[in-house]
Amino acid sequence: MNTNFKQTDIGLIPDDWEVRKVQDAFTFTKKPRILEIDNDFVLPFIPMEMILENKVYVEDFKLKKFGSFSSGTYFENGDILLAKITPSFENGKQAIARIPYKFGYATTEVIPVNEIKDISSKYFLFNYLLKADVRKRLAGKMEGSTGRQRLPKTVLQNTSIPLPPLPEQKKIAHVLSQIQKAIETQEQIIKTSQELKKALMQKLFTEGLNGEPQKPTEIGLIPESWEVALIKDYGIVKSNSFSFTKIPTIDSHKNEDDKVLAIKVSDMNLPGNENILSHSNIEFHVSKSNLIKLKPIPIHSIIFPKRGAAISTNKKRMNNHLVILDPNLIAIIPNKDIIPKYLFYWFLTFDIGRLKDDNPIPQLNKKDVDNVKFPLPKRIEEQNEIINILDSISMNLYCQISKCSSLRDLFKSNLNLLMTGQIRLKDIELELEESLKGINA
């Protein structure tokens, strides 16, 4: 579709679009003056934790007596509830209220907004506010002390936005909602797969595969032929003393086999590192002589946080490259008497928070990890069979996560193109149909 553009204060937009302030195209909900509510009146209340990221609607609520909360924000069913406090705002926390009541109250940290009949679509504004550049621009105008900054309602009201004709607003919102629905469906599949994997691991590590009788042990029921083993008998617990500041002085020897990853806790969250640490923000190559001096953590080790709040995330990863660890991480290096991936899969079921000390900054100690007990099949073949089963479900889960990631990328790219008019609906509907076909194939 050929589109002519015009220059405006907010950039180029199609000729048939307008620029309007949010307050001129949308309504900001206020409690009607004539509405009087008795303190014993029970109504829905939506706290911030019920407004989820990446969800269009908020349908959960608590029933509370009006007199039981000292403050709240009045909203009406169908309003956009936009989080205004940091970091909820920057993270994209917002949802449209869909409850079986005409009105309710929410946390004071939201701004309720709705459409104006025959002028605007709330779903158009909902999606426009998800644009990364829009969030960044608004976040720059937040006020208040560090850690408690808020977006003033007046800032949102006076923000200029591009506004297509209402039919196009609705069509844009519909196209984006199709992707959002696909994302939510995929997220539910992932959640179900994760629950299945968790239940299957619990069953495998207590019952085994051969239907043999179980015996009671200090770690619970396990198959009769299995043993209760100690980590220290099947691996070495190790952390690195190497300083990351020395990395630039290491010679660069371009050999993929000698690639070393410098791992921080944040690297565990990088896309693609959900189970296996395959890359990091700091990567380098070294010669064999320097590699010996470096004493990196070997591949197929089990890596997890050892200090601070990160312990409570309970994250564990294996590595497929040599790594050095920052002081907040620790590793178990399995020995030749156990298959590393078996130990890794069992370790996924173990809560490392049980091992932390009581210091103000919690920490895991080597001796505590050394003495962790776990169930171990004596037959290597049975370890391998358990690994194969869990590999299969893990691969399926990885594929589902990859599909969800592709859908999120599709949403972000189409959001930007649609909200700027770079691609109009006839073009995007055809591209979207093909993209969804490819992802769902």
Domains, the chain, with CATH or none: 15-163 (3.90.220.20), 164-190+199-214+379-441 (1.10.287.1120), 227-376 (3.90.220.20)
CA distance linking residue 83 with residue 349, whole number of Å: 35
Q: What is the pLDDT of residue 375?
A: 97
The closest of 159, 197, 191 to 52, measured between CA atoms, is 191
> Three-class SS of residue 188?
helix
Residue 212 Cα to chain centre, angstroms:
40
Whether the Cβ atoms of residue 29 and residue 166 lie closer than 8 Å to each other: no
CA distance linking residue 236 with residue 348, whole number of Å: 18
Eight-state DSSP code of residue 55: -
CA distance linking residue 101 with residue 77, whole number of Å: 7
Amino acid at 2: N
- Helix, strand and coil content of the chain, in percent to the nearest 5, comes to 40, 25, 35
Whether the Cβ atoms of residue 249 and residue 279 lie closer than 8 Å to each other: no
Amino acid at 162: P
The token pair at 10 is: 């907010």
Strand partners, 9: none
The closest of 174, 25, 80, 79 to 17, measured between CA atoms, is 25
Element spanning 304, H or E = strand 302-305
Q: How many helices (H) and strands (E) does the chain have?
A: 11, 25
pLDDT tens, position by position, for the chain (441 residues)?
567 999 999 999 999 999 999 999 999 999 999 999 999 999 999 999 999 988 999 999 999 999 998 899 999 999 999 999 999 999 999 999 999 999 999 999 999 999 999 999 999 999 999 999 999 999 999 999 877 899 999 999 999 999 999 999 999 999 999 999 999 999 999 999 999 999 999 999 999 999 999 999 999 999 999 999 999 999 999 988 777 777 766 665 565 556 889 999 999 999 889 889 999 999 888 777 777 778 899 999 999 999 998 999 999 999 999 999 998 999 999 999 999 999 999 999 999 999 988 888 889 989 999 999 999 999 999 999 999 999 999 999 989 999 999 999 999 999 999 999 988 875 555 555 556 666 665
Classify the C-alpha dihedral 87-91-92-96 as positive or negative. negative
Whether the Cβ atoms of residue 318 and residue 302 lie closer than 8 Å to each other: yes
Q: What is the pLDDT of residue 431?
A: 58
